[in-house]
Structure formats: structure tokens, C-alpha cells
Amino acid sequence: MNDRPITLLWSLRSLCDLACPSCYFGDPLIHQIEPPSKVGQLSHISPNDLKRREVLAFARTLKDSAVGRIFVAGGEPLNWPGILETLKIIKDAGIEVVVCTNGIPLTRPVMLQSLLDLGIDAFSVSLDSTEATFNDWMRPDPKGEHGWQDVVDGIRALVAARKDDGPRIGIYTVITRLNIDQIPAMGRFAADLGADYYVPQPIALEDDHLHHEQLSLRPEDTSALNAAFAELYGAGLPLTLPAGSYPGQVTASVPRSASTVKGCFGGRTLHFIQPDGAIWDCVSSLRIGATPAAARRTIRGNSAAELFPAPTACASDCPLASYECVNMWPLMEFSRILTPGSRSAA
């Protein structure tokens, strides 16, 4: 990473063209009947997303700040009309950008070339299975127009179009108790596609979520998880995987007990921004819920330098770590992926 220590996970827009039933944005159909009421709860139908001019105004303040890397996610960020203008401002500020996408927009040649021209540093593309039927069940397009094949086509188009110093390409796979076997299978597939990194991320669903019983990992899945991770890490694939400690972090998160993280980066070198501009220390619902109203902040009308100064004190321990936090560790070690020479030879 450059010498600017702050990472932002910026969930830029709420809308998405897919309607994944297990997405942490929730189900838009359910939200029409029962609008989200919890603090920090995301929704694809959020009417409160920042206006384009508010997003751009904040983005313009980034150049004078300690922010060095931004993960741009959503919703689907690449479908928003303001995306290229926003990304250009961020890149011109000397910040590393990782775009987290469902991959379908990469099949649009003009969008793909524009992103390459901007010098985006990496693309994390979501694909949940080597099997189209399972992926498209996890990640359905309500219009029935796009699915697994488009995502694979998008990844292939990106691999084919990038130059030698072009962006890193990675695949993110949500792991549920129904696709544990995909931990190594998707690794092999990612390598075959010419990707540079691969992150199998455990599903995070609240206990009362409609699909919790069916999809959430359980303690009895631990031996299958351990075997699947051992196969992945032992396969010698030409891919960067999360650090060797990650499989243990995943299995430790399965019992879903709150825990303490020593020297946590949340709120120190990592900040989470939601589409309405709200800023949280991290994605932990426990930590978001424990944030006093008086401590709530927004990027709306504020500057990055004021909001996200370089930390001066030592990191403190967080007793509010939750099962959602495990997905933050691979983000915070992204330098391994962006370092020159880490690109796969494929």
C-alpha cells in the first residue's frame, strides 16, 4: 500500500440488478412490506442514498487525506451512472481502488475499457459456484437476463483485455453449508480463469434471517470446512489466498459467539461507509448497534481529512467482534494482492 494508512470499505450505492436472497442488504420484496428499522441496516430499496453531487464532493476531499485504499462496493457500483466520474476522482487522488462487482457490467466493452483506462487496481468478482444452477439460485437476476455465464464471460473479458501492469482479478465466493465443497473447487476454477486471488467468504446471516437455518455454517460443519480449506491451501494453485490464519478465523466464527479482537483495525485504519453516507467503525452489527447516537458520523458535507485522520494512538481491543468480522481480514491484508509481482502467471 502507499504510505496512507486508512482503508475505506465504501458501500457506494444500494441498488443491485441481482436479488440474492442471502445478501446482507436484505430482500427488497420483504423490505417493501417491512421497511428496515434497525440502525445501520442496509436495503437495496434505500431512498436515502447520497446524491451524486454529495458523493463527488466527498470524493474530491480524498486527495488531502490519509486514505490510501478504497473498496468500492454496494449494491452494484458499476451500474450507477456516476461511477466512472467518482472512480476517476479517487484514482486521481492517488488512492488504490478495488472494485467489488457482480461481474456482469464487465461484459459491456465500453465499461470494461473505461475501467482499464482509469487504472483500477483490482476487481473482486462475486461467483458462488462452479455450477451455474447453484450460483444462479444464490445470485438470481429477477429479470432472468443474466447469470453465471455472464459473470464468467466478464472475468474472461477482463483477463483478456488487461495489459501486463493491469488490474489484479479476484473471485469472492460465499460459502454456505450447501457449498462447502466449492472452497477448493472454486479455487481451481479461479486459477483456470486466470484470476490472481480467491477468497471463500463464510455467509453471514442473522439468527432470524429467513435462510439462516438452511445456509449458515454450523459447528458440525467444522470438519468438512477444515478438509475443504486444507485441500485448497494444499493444491499449490497460482493464486493468492487469504493468509494461513484465515481458515482458523472462519471456523472460529461459526459458533457465532461474540469475541474480543486484540488490537482491532475497525474505526482505526478501517472505516465502513454506507450508501446514505453513514460511517461506522466496521461491519460488525454489534459494534454498529453499540455506537452512541452522538458518535454517529456521515461523509455528507464533510472532508476525508477530518473524518479519517491517520491514527496516532495504539489500536485498542474490540469486545464486540461478531461472526461478520471474519470477512474484514482479507480486506486488511490486500497489500499481498496488490504488491508488484503478485500477479498470477496465467
Ligand X SMILES: C[S@@+](CC[C@H](N)C(=O)[O-])C[C@H]1O[C@@H](n2cnc3c(N)ncnc32)[C@H](O)[C@@H]1O
Please, what is the minimum distance in Å from the beta carbon of residue 151 to ligand X? 9
The CB-based long-range contact list for 24-31 (8 Å cut-off, 24+ gap) reads 24/204, 24/324, 25/75, 27/210, 30/210
Regarding 134 and contact with ligand X (CB under 6 A), the answer is no
Size of the site for ligand X (CB under 6 A): 17
Matching residue, cell 451455474: 132
For 57, how many CA atoms within 13 A lie in the half-sphere containing its CB?
12
Q: Are 170 and 343 in contact (CB under 8 A)?
A: no
Regarding 95 and contact with ligand X (CB under 6 A), the answer is no
Please, what is the minimum distance in Å from the beta carbon of residue 198 to ligand X? 12
Regarding 232 and contact with ligand X (CB under 6 A), the answer is no
**Amino acid at the residue 288:** I
Instruction: Name the residue nearer to ligand X (CB basis): 65 or 152.
Output: 152
Residues 70, 106, 174, 288: which binds ligand X (CB under 6 A)? Answer: 174
Question: What's the CA dihedral at 121, 127, 131, 133 to 10 degrees?
Answer: -140
Regarding 330 and contact with ligand X (CB under 6 A), the answer is no
Regarding 73 and contact with ligand X (CB under 6 A), the answer is yes
Interface residues for ligand X in 75-94 (CB under 6 A)?
76
Choices 86-94, 96-104, 223-231, 281-289 (CB under 6 A): range interacting with ligand X: 96-104
Regarding 273 and contact with ligand X (CB under 6 A), the answer is no
For the beta sheet containing 122-126, the strands, ordered from the edge strand earlier in sequence to the opposite edge, are 197-202, 168-175, 122-126, 96-101, 67-74, 6-13, 270-273, 278-280, 297-298
Regarding 291 and contact with ligand X (CB under 6 A), the answer is no
Tell me if residue 258 falls in helix, strand or coil.
Answer: coil
Please report, as ranges, the residues that interact with ligand X according to CB under 6 A.
16, 22-24, 73-74, 76, 100-102, 126, 172, 174, 201, 203-205
